[in-house]
Amino acid sequence: MRYRQLGNSDIEISVLGLGTMTWGHQNSESDAHQQIDLALAEGINFIDTAEMYPTPTRAETWRTTERYIGSWLAASGGRERIVLASKIAGPARDPAGQQHIRDGLSRHDRRNIVEALDGSLKRLNTDYLDLYQLHWPDRKTNFFGQREYPYLDDADSVAIEETLSVLADQVKAGKVRHIGVSNETPWGVAEFIKQSERLGLPRIVSVQNPYSLLNRLYEGGLSEFSHRENVGLLAYSPLAFGALTGKYLGGARPEGSRLSAVYRTFNRYDSGSAQEAIAGYVEVAQQHNISPAQLALAYVISKPFVASALTGQTSLAQLRDNLGALDVTLSEEIQAQVAAIHQRIPNPAP
């Protein structure tokens, strides 16, 4: 395993992190504990979760993922072995689908942050988080696959300086070591940095955004913040919901897979251009006798702005395959082949 510093913090995290958003829908509590055990045995020390997991969020299952991690911590006493991160949900984009999270009004204000954080700590059976993140912005902007900026007024959004001041109190109280953002834009990252410097408040150390062979939009504006401002990327969906393994090519939906069992209407990776790009990357992997998942992950962790790639898997076999990415060397030939596909079909799945 290789490790990288998390932003300007004093924490080093594994370049492969353990994503958990299937735990509670596709994975049982026993499955979750087995994944944690194998991950730790292989050197993974970073576990990322969220109050709303598993996804898609449902009234009957939200908070289950944190409980599974908390039961592992209670049984193992292994808190100091892991770097643990969670997230507070943002305001509902679809109020009808998120009423179960604080009545669909999960703003990033004092009441919501304190309530959400205390709930996460209780479920996780810990008295502190190494990283606490804002799951998505408390304003109307483009994220979760939306390419165009919406140009909408947002009178109800909580000011970033207010959010930072509440998070600062949580750091001061010892509940949180460091803070981060997720699904953020370049403007948002710049504003968080500016306000923290202006007010002398804790600085974000990370941004958790999508980044994969199918979505390299992070490179356009945010990667420079990682480089010049030392804000590390926690890359989520590095396998594009498993699409980059090739298992969904030709419209296939393997039994028990995420797109067959949970996200039946999720079509971000179903476009003709996305499928063409996936087929090309799968062919490159096969030519070089590596698994498609390993090629995809090796590419992501090769980038200097990536602190960790968060892999989500539903089986131990998938986790072992993902770990094999650590042994993959991206030769000049592989890099040229990947570049050629990207030039022909850039960012087909934002």
The alpha-helical segments, DSSP class H, found in 233-271 are 258-261
User: Which one from 53, 132, 236, 281 is the annotated catalytic residue?
Assistant: 53
Q: Return d(Cα 223, Cα 230) in angstroms, integer.
A: 10
CB-CB contact of 114 with 166 (8 Å) = yes
Q: Return d(Cα 44, Cα 84) in angstroms, integer.
A: 11
Q: Return d(Cα 1, Cα 90) in angstroms, integer.
A: 33
Burial 162-187 (b: 16+ CB within 10 A, else e): bbbebbbbbbeeebbbbbbbbbbbee
218 in catalytic set: no
CB-CB contact of 89 with 135 (8 Å) = yes
Amino acid 57 reads T
List, in order, residues 6 or more apart from 230 with CB less than 8 Å away: 7, 8, 205
Amino acid 321 reads D
Burial 54-75 (b: 16+ CB within 10 A, else e): bbebeeebbbbbbbbbbbbbee
CB-CB contact of 200 with 154 (8 Å) = no
Q: Return d(Cα 84, Cα 199) in angstroms, integer.
A: 27
Give the active site residues. Answer: 53
